Structure 1
Amino acid sequence: MAALEQYSQVIVSISMIAVLSRLLDSTEIGLAVIGLGIGTIAFNFREFVTSEYLIQREDVSEEDVRTGFTLIFGFSVAIGSFLILLAHWFAGFYSAAGLSGFVCILAISGVIDAPVSTIAALLRRDMEFGNLTRINALGSIVNALVTIAFAWFGFGFMSFAWGTLASALVRMALGFHARPIFWMFNPRLKGWHEFFVFGGYKGASTVLDRTYEALPQLVLGRIMPLTAVGLFNRANVVCGLPDKILLSAIFSVAFPAFAAEARAQRSVKDAYLKIISYITALYWPAVLVVAILAHPIVHIALGQAWDAAVPLVQILSVAAIFWFPNILTFPVLVALGANREAFRANFIGRGMSIIVICTASFFGLYALVLSQFIVLPFQMLISLIYVRRHAPFHWQELFAILAKSAVVTLGGILGPLGVLAAHGFAFDLSILQALVAGLFSAIGWVAALVIVKHPFLEELIRIVGLLVPRLLPSKQGVPAE
């Protein structure tokens, strides 16, 4: 159910991006990105009183639920009021009058969505992933449909705000349908300190992560035309497709997987290195193929009006090869009880990166994109150093794994490079040529897995073994001749 939730949202998100990129221009996308970035950073401060505290408690009483909701709702109202008060200032800061209404609608949406946080925590605690998937998946679908409908009728960047509001209303309705606990609206603050203690590191890490994602675009929107913000955002979206499609479920299962290894007193190092080998064997070839096929991919995903995003996608995709260990740092360290170290690693890696990226923004769009070749290797190094402290491994072990994945990556990109060479090394490949290149990439990738006996080959064989019996027609019930 967790995988279903992840991939349903990925499909909806990609479909929404493909349609909206054809209905709205880069300036309107840029305004929407700025507005959503402001709302995202602001409402993530709720994580300091996160309702996830209810999940790990041995016993949860009605008073605990009421306290959790009172805190999360109170923070939401305070943040929403703050955004409404500053809405006109944001509009003036970015010289966009319509941004004021956008921020106000997001503020209302955040308050409406507050009860879902508490309900979702209780559903996770009771392992009711079916209800949780229904809430999140249908919320995403409504968000996409309403946003597209408003964009179709000419509401421009405001379409994103109305989609967010509609999604919040639907999520709240579905949440109370799954758990009609209206009694939690009765305020309570008993035990509030425990929520703050639990949410301290998580809240700080979440705010830092979201600020890292949104702040460069907010800075860029201030010093450059909004078109640049739209281009950067859409280039990031296309570059992130391999992450969303191939790795979206890894974070969901990584923490419980590492925690299980730690409880069983087995080597977390072995599990960590194995997953690193899986990630690099999947992710490295994917991002480099995206770099090679950026032109047709942008045309398919965004439309021909976004050709200016192609070189940005290529730069970001090549830089992304350094990202591979970052997704595992937090779950490994937390599973080993090193919560403070997890936050420290995140603070150093993301904090220094924010400074570099924001500084680069003042030198233009391409300087911002090229800065990824500084920040991602730095984050990679910090991640490996902190994990190595608590799950010691030899650098030679890591390099041996990465060497095999590098050969697999080479096998995966040889076919696309051959197609590119046959086209005179011009990146404007047709969609048919891109499909041929993708087929050659898959063949070369599998061949390389076999040649180097990569650990992921075992997983691939297991996946095929699970799927083939399901795809083949059953012979039961066929009468004998």
Structure 2
Amino acid sequence: MTSLRRSLLFSFMERYAGIVIGLGMTMTAARMLTPADFGVFAVGMSVVMLIDVMRDFGTGTYLVQLEALERSAVRSAFTVSCIISGSCAVALALAAIPLGRFYDEPGVGNVVLVLSAALLLNPFLTPATAMLRRQMAFDRLAMINVASGLGQFGTLVLLASLGQGYMAMAWAGLVAVLVRIVGANIVHPMPWAFRPTLVGWRDILSFGAWSTATGIVNVVHDTLPQLIIGRVLGTVPVGLFSRAQTVCQLPDKLISSALHPIVLPALAEHARRGGSLKEPYLLGLSYMAAVHVPAMVCLALLAEPIVDILLGPQWGEVPTLVRLMAMGLVWLFPAFLTYPMLVALGRIRDTLVSSLISIPPSILLIAAAAPHGIRAVAAVSLVTGPLQAFVAVSFVRRHIGLAWGEILRSAAPGAVATVGAAAGIVAVMSLLGFRTALSFGEMVVAVLAAGLGWVAGLWIGGHPLIGELLGLWGRVRRWA
């Protein structure tokens, strides 16, 4: 097995273990806590995320993409991260009480206070995890992240059962960070990395400024809807909207998130060896078109039973939000490749420019839609999704010499697979009287039909993923 396939295997194993833990937390918390609890936590978490993107200042990514790595660079990255993280944590702590007053909910301030402690500790995680990513040691990263997820789950269940409400989620988030820090420094001890120095700090700040600015713009886009809804409509709608976002992120967690940690190190290594990035990009687009797009379409079709199973009956407004958001997210299949491609090409500034072109119009549309309710905010993704995908692809194609025809040809087999998957679900629903509210057993049948239709679509479209699936099936048979 090649090192890349081995890394993919462990990354997927870790992500799927994390998904199981995450689903357990989602299902448990949705039944132990109220929409108001989720709303308070979501608002506080959104504020922290806006600051957290500045905390790391791109130091981890800086260490991963360096061509030659010296100890002084690692120590400087840690020092810069400590200075910025400490400043961010202090700013959050000072803002906690005013934020509670602004939202007329003291709990928002309490959540911010607890999570600000995590920002203060995070620099001690950066050196070890950056080295593990650079070495593509995803087996050890998998163990660390699974242990962190289990610690978070256990803390959430314990504190929620003790009646801590939204604070159970806040304390669980802090425990997850602590477990990750301890685990990373046990697996890859680097005590020398924590000796402060500022050698080469200008290079770190230069890279981090562009990386962080890009992150800020994107995090603002991700978190602002919840902040606006919380201010305009209250915490309960925020809770409903945040749960819809969680459900819509399931396909990304099942598929794309396992690739995220690997893509940048692999592309950076490929570029260091002088390889062309055109072919890897087109192959990545074809795979995401055949996996992400069918997954989002199937999620939109099965929104009701999925929400009922994951969240329970008190979240009846969520399926409609999921349908609207999923159909907008369909278009974002090229998105996960944009940042690592531009970084590998040495075009870190373009990551910010592309975000500044696509994100502000999206935020303006969300602000205009908020007074009309959470459905209107969810419907905005039907416009913003295609816009963001177009801008992202435009920036990449210009640097690697791609024609739009090549991009469309790489995505076309995925469209055939999407039709096949959707046809399987529609066929089952038609046999059941065109009902969208399916029982668990009926949903399982629909998912199996979608899987068969998807494989048939891959075969008919001649997608390269078929070769990978056949190879995997052959290895499973030999192992059996």
TM-score, length-normalised on structure 2? 0.91
Residues 9 and 449 from structure 1, CA distance in 2 versus in 1: closer, same or farther, beyond 3 angstroms? same
Residues 185 and 248 from structure 1, CA distance in 2 versus in 1: closer, same or farther, beyond 3 angstroms? closer
AA aligned to 1:352 is P
- Report if the CA contact (8 A) 2:127-2:190 is conserved: no
Q: Select the residue among 322, 334, 340 that pairs with 2:349.
A: 340
Mark the runs of 5 or more structure 1 residues left unpaired by the alignment.
Answer: 473-481
AA aligned to 2:70 is V
In the alignment, which residue of structure 2 is the partner of 1:224? Answer: 233
| Structure possessing the higher radius of gyration over alpha carbons | 1
Q: Select the residue among 256, 259, 263 that pairs with 1:250.
A: 259
d(CA) in 1 for partners of 2:182, 2:28:
27
Deviates more, 1:29-38 or 1:125-134: 125-134
d(CA) in 1 for partners of 2:271, 2:146:
32
In the alignment, which residue of structure 1 is the partner of 2:77? Answer: 68
d(CA) in 2 for partners of 1:42, 1:432:
44
Mark the runs of 5 or more structure 2 residues left unpaired by the alignment.
Answer: 1-9
d(CA) in 2 for partners of 1:373, 1:331:
25
Deviation at 1:118, TM superposition (A): 2.8
- Report if the CA contact (8 A) 1:83-1:104 is conserved: yes
In the alignment, which residue of structure 2 is the partner of 1:394? Answer: 403
Q: Would you say how many aligned residue pairs link Structure 1 and Structure 2?
A: 470
In the alignment, which residue of structure 1 is the partner of 2:6? Answer: none
SS of match in other structure, 1:98: helix
d(CA) in 2 for partners of 1:448, 1:180:
48
Q: Is 2:455 the counterpart of 1:441?
A: no
In the alignment, which residue of structure 2 is the partner of 1:358? Answer: 367
SS of match in other structure, 1:154: coil
In the alignment, which residue of structure 1 is the partner of 2:21? Answer: 12
In the alignment, which residue of structure 2 is the partner of 1:195? Answer: 204
SS of match in other structure, 1:113: helix
Q: Is 2:88 the counterpart of 1:79?
A: yes
Deviates more, 1:257-266 or 1:332-341: 257-266
- Report if the CA contact (8 A) 2:56-2:84 is conserved: no
Q: Deviations over 1:167-202 (max 9, x none)?
A: 233233334433555565554333322221221221
SS of match in other structure, 1:429: coil
Q: Deviations over 1:264-312 (max 9, x none)?
A: 6555333322221211111222211111111111111111221210111
Q: Is 2:58 the counterpart of 1:58?
A: no
d(CA) in 1 for partners of 2:409, 2:197:
55
d(CA) in 1 for partners of 2:228, 2:294:
32
- Report if the CA contact (8 A) 1:269-1:391 is conserved: yes
d(CA) in 2 for partners of 1:447, 1:125:
38
Identical counterparts, % of pairs: 32
Q: Is 2:417 the counterpart of 1:404?
A: no
AA aligned to 2:315 is W
Residues 154 and 385 from structure 1, CA distance in 2 versus in 1: closer, same or farther, beyond 3 angstroms? same
Q: Is 2:429 the counterpart of 1:451?
A: no
Deviation at 1:149, TM superposition (A): 1.5
Deviation at 1:256, TM superposition (A): 4.0
d(CA) in 1 for partners of 2:460, 2:135:
45
- Report if the CA contact (8 A) 1:106-1:161 is conserved: yes
Deviation at 1:94, TM superposition (A): 1.0
d(CA) in 2 for partners of 1:101, 1:257:
41
SS of match in other structure, 2:362: helix
TM-score, length-normalised on structure 1? 0.91
SS of match in other structure, 1:301: helix
Q: Is 2:127 the counterpart of 1:104?
A: no
d(CA) in 1 for partners of 2:324, 2:196:
51
Q: Is 2:118 the counterpart of 1:116?
A: no
d(CA) in 2 for partners of 1:275, 1:67:
34
Report matched runs for 1:106-145 at 5 Å. 106-145=115-154
- Report if the CA contact (8 A) 1:33-1:217 is conserved: yes
- Report if the CA contact (8 A) 2:243-2:318 is conserved: yes
Residues 259 and 77 from structure 1, CA distance in 2 versus in 1: closer, same or farther, beyond 3 angstroms? closer
SS of match in other structure, 1:189: coil
Residues 275 and 189 from structure 1, CA distance in 2 versus in 1: closer, same or farther, beyond 3 angstroms? closer
AA aligned to 1:60 is E
